[in-house]
């Protein structure tokens, strides 16, 4: 659930804007809509507002999509589309029939497939591009 975080004019977190209040009730303040995770970081002192945008005091924290994230996502989607097209057509040629009529196909299998593809494609990028891995970044399980 999105929260309405309230900040003073210097960008210091001042709490949540109550649903029954308007920003005009707090002169000199501004609000930002934040996710529950971002709100927790604010209450823990790990985030603040600068130029009316949320920033994190710990540079390893990255919760919002940046242009680099968008580029990475686009590369993954293009590669995935091509792989699905190729694999699906090969499966029809090899096995025939209509996959959607076959029993025991679970939604969970699709979710696992997407997770596996994202990790494997990213690993492929890391292996092909020397220096891409940030040794100071938190591990995937942290």
Q: How far apart are CA 55 and CA 12, in angstroms?
A: 11
Q: Is residue 139 part of a domain?
A: no
52 plus 87 within the same structural domain: no
123 plus 93 within the same structural domain: yes
Q: Assess whether pLDDT exceeds 80 at residue 63.
A: no
Question: Within its chain, how far is the Cα of 6 from the centroid?
Answer: 24
Write down the pLDDT at residue 76.
95
77 plus 50 within the same structural domain: no
- The number of domains in the chain is 2
Judged on CB neighbours under 10 Å (0-12, 13-18, 19+), 28 is exposed
Residue pair 5/42 in contact (Cβ under 8 Å)? The answer is: yes
Domain with 19 in it: 3-56
pLDDT mean across residues, the chain: 86
Q: Is residue 35 part of a domain?
A: yes
**DSSP 8-class letter at 10:** T
Q: Is residue 119 part of a domain?
A: yes
Question: What is the percentage of the chain residues whose pLDDT exceeds 90?
Answer: 27
81 plus 51 within the same structural domain: no
Q: Is residue 136 part of a domain?
A: no
Helix (H, G, I), strand (E, B) or coil at 128: helix
pLDDT range class, residue 85, cuts 50, 70, 90: very high
51 plus 93 within the same structural domain: no
Q: Is residue 142 part of a domain?
A: no
Domain boundary (36, 56, 76) is at 56
Q: Is residue 61 part of a domain?
A: no
75 plus 120 within the same structural domain: yes
Q: Does this model's pTM top 0.75?
A: no
Q: How far apart are CA 111 and CA 95, in angstroms?
A: 23
73 plus 102 within the same structural domain: yes
Question: How many CB atoms within 10 Å of residue 47?
Answer: 22
Instruction: Find the length of the chain.
Output: 142
**Is the pLDDT higher at 41 or at 132?**
41
Q: Is residue 98 part of a domain?
A: yes
50 plus 81 within the same structural domain: no
* Residue entry with tokens 């130029």: 51
Q: Assess whether pLDDT exceeds 90 at residue 1.
A: no
pLDDT range class, residue 78, cuts 50, 70, 90: very high
Write down the pLDDT at residue 81.
96
Question: How many CB atoms within 10 Å of residue 57?
Answer: 11
CA atoms within a 13 Å half-sphere pointing along the CA-CB vector of 69: 5
pLDDT tens-digit map of 31-59: 998 888 889 889 998 888 988 888 888 87
Question: How many CB atoms within 10 Å of residue 16?
Answer: 16
pLDDT range class, residue 142, cuts 50, 70, 90: low
DSSP code per residue over 31-51 = EEEE-HHHHHHHHTTSEEEET
């Amino acid at each position: 659930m999105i929260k309405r975080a309230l900040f003073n004019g210097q960008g210091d977190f001042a709490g949540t804007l109550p649903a029954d209040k308007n920003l005009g009730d707090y002169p000199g303040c501004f609000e930002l809509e934040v996710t529950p995770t971002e709100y927790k970081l604010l209450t823990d002192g790990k985030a603040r507002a600068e130029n009316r945008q949320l920033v994190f005091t710990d540079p390893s924290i990255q919760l919002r999509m940046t242009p680099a994230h968008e580029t990475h996502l686009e590369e993954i989607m293009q590669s995935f589309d091509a792989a699905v097209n190729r694999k699906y057509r090969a499966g029809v040629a090899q096995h025939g029939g209509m996959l959607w009529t076959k029993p025991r196909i679970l939604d969970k299998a699709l979710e696992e497939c997407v997770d596996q593809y994202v990790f494997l494609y990213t690993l492929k990028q890391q292996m092909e591009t020397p220096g891409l891995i940030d040794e100071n970044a938190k591990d995937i399980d942290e």
